[in-house]
Homo-oligomer: A and B are copies of this chain.
Amino acid sequence: MPRVNVDVMLKHEILDPQGQAVERALPTMGFEGVAEVRIGKHIELVIDDDVADAEGLAEAVADKLLANPVIEAYTVTVVDG
């Protein structure tokens, strides 16, 4: 069965408090060298074999349900299918 990953991230102009919190914590934990951290959602979809366009279905689902178009952008990656 095809697997399609959808990564949903805040748009660059939107503040990412979670990412900034991790960014600030890293040096205190001894990690130097991380310039920026951004945190979003990683969604894995397993698509039925009888679906002709697995990537198209994943895009439609991302558009309608997984991402808020006002503040988020998404990328779709077919993993195997």
Within the assembled complex, what's the spacing in Å between the Cα atoms of A33 and B9?
A: 25
Q: Is the CB of B1 within 8 A of A42?
A: no
A50–B12 Cα gap in the complex (Å)? 24
* Residues in B neighbouring A39, C-beta threshold 8 A: 41-44
Q: Which residues of A contact B (CB under 8 A)?
A: 1, 5, 7-9, 19, 22, 25-26, 29, 31, 33-48, 50-51, 57, 60-61, 64-66
25 A-B pairs (CB sep. < 8 Å): A5-B7, A7-B42, A9-B44, A19-B43, A22-B43, A22-B65, A22-B66, A25-B65, A26-B61, A26-B65, A29-B64, A31-B57, A31-B61, A31-B64, A31-B65, A34-B45, A34-B61, A35-B47, A35-B48, A36-B45, A37-B45, A39-B41, A40-B41, A40-B44, A41-B42
